[in-house]
Amino acid sequence: MALVKAKELKRRFELDGPKATYAHLREALEQGHLKPEDFSLRDLAEQFCGRDWVRLLDPRSDSVHLLEDSFDGVDVTAFRNITGELISQKILEGFRHETFVVSRLVQTIRTRLDGEKIPGVPSLGDYAEEIPPGMPYPTYGFGEDYIETPPTTKHGFIVPVTREAIFFDRTHLVLQRASEVGQALGLNKEKRIIDTVIGAVNTFKWKGTTYNTYLTSGPWVNWATNNPLNSYSNADKAEALLAKMVDPATGEPVLVEATTVLIPPSLRHAAAKVFQALELRHTDGSVLTVMENPFRDQYRVVVSRQLLRRIEASGVPNAEAQGWWFLGDFSKAFAYMENWPITVTQAPRGSEAEFTHDILIRFKASERGTPAVLNPRYVIKNTP
């Protein structure tokens, strides 16, 4: 099957040219019509570089022209670029692993700055000035309200493709390493975002002053203590805190609508009972009251496998950490300030590693950014 895929790609390369072929391959990989596992590094090398070129990868060969492009049938550039598409796809798959759910809850803000000062727009509350005929409209612009986001950080790895990986056709091993690199970068990003979401790392800097993300008193109250998730009254308590949230400039309620409940796996059944049950039953003495569950389908329940571990890593005992849960609009409360997304670049040919380590192709995967708190008033932390 792999040889057939390589032949088909070579035929398309000859008919459509390199640019169209690379674009077609990238689109097919992104849409899932093709998988990196459908190809063999050795078969691709034989199709684009020739079998003689592949045989010369054997260290026992005495040829001094091992990697020259001047041999008939050799197209090392095409082979390198196609290999790059396959490895890039595996890195992206690992980076976007389905278990990294919290990374998808927060919004991504692209920035060219290493830490940013974001001006706020002052709220007018319910004030709307009456304008007499012929008089100018009042101006509504930026005020002294602003937040500062933390400096961004860069993370990355290098994925090598050795002479042996091609000659012995260790395609699976190369793709596995690429996937592991993507997962490592994605997991690192997920952990940093979770640490910000749970308040283990407090980076909220408002008008020059740094605050804890979650407060039980002060400019806002978004931490409900003694609030385990074991009945609908707990959800009521969290919603009540959101309802009390006010704009610091006007004293008017903040227009916040909770959309998501974030929980560790230990609360999966409790969340189903509170947020998915068809009806609620309450007994007062001998009187049984049955009512429709007002919370049913109101919130999206997101279960994070990493959430419990990050809470424990912040110093919270396991028994207590299992009861933490969060309710709110995470996309308005938090953001990932991104200088550049996960990006895969290919090293130029003729590097020292090619001669000293038999590394024929190298790919560098990197991303740069940092989690930031935009407005803590949009999320309620609940602890037992």
Q: Is residue 243 assigned to a domain? A: yes
Q: Is residue 311 part of a domain?
A: yes
pLDDT, residue 201, reads: 97
pLDDT in tens, 288-307: 777 787 788 889 999 999 99
CA–CA distance, 130 with 23 (Å, rounded to integer): 58
- Domain membership of residue 300 (yes or no) is yes
Q: What is the number of residues in the chain?
A: 384
Question: For residues 207-218, b (16+ Cβ closer than 10 Å) or e, as one string?
Answer: eeeebebbeeee
Residue 142 scores a pLDDT above 70: no
Mean pLDDT computed over every residue of the chain: 88
Q: Are 300 and 260 in contact (CB under 8 A)?
A: yes
Q: Which two tokens stand for residue 377?
A: 């008033």
Paired tokens of 151? 């400096």
In a domain, residue 244? The reply is yes
DSSP-assigned letters across all residues of 225-271: -S--SSSHHHHHHHHHHHHH-B-TTT-PBP-----EEEE-GGGHHHH
In this predicted structure, the answer to whether residue 71 has a pLDDT above a threshold of 60 is no
Please check the confidence at residue 3 and state whether its pLDDT lies above 80: no
Confidence of residue 237 (pLDDT cuts 50, 70, 90): very high
- Alpha-carbon distance of 4 to 299, in angstroms, equals 48
Question: Domain for residue 143, yes or no?
Answer: no
Question: How much is the average pLDDT of 326-341?
Answer: 97
Please report the pLDDT score of residue 285 as a whole number: 72
Mean pLDDT in residue range 219-243: 93
Number of domains the chain is built from: 1
Is the pLDDT at 74 greater than 70? The verdict is no
Higher pLDDT, 72 or 59: 59
Asked whether residue 320 is domain-assigned, the answer is yes
Supply the pLDDT for residue 247.
78
Residue 274 lies in a domain: yes
Reduce the DSSP state of residue 46 to 3 states and report it.
Answer: helix
Which tokens is 231 given? 């009945």
Range of the domain at 225: 220-337+372-382
Count of alpha carbons within 13 angstroms of residue 141, beta-carbon side: 3
More confidently predicted of 58 and 237? 237
Burial 332-353 (b: 16+ CB within 10 A, else e): bbbbbbbbeebebeebeeeeee
Q: What percent of the chain has pLDDT over 90?
A: 66
* pLDDT of the residue at 257: 87
Q: Is the pLDDT of residue 265 over 50?
A: yes
Tell me if 164 is assigned to some domain. no
* 91 CB-contact burial (10 Å; exposed 0-12 / middle 13-18 / buried 19+): buried
Bridge partners, residue 288, by sequence? 283
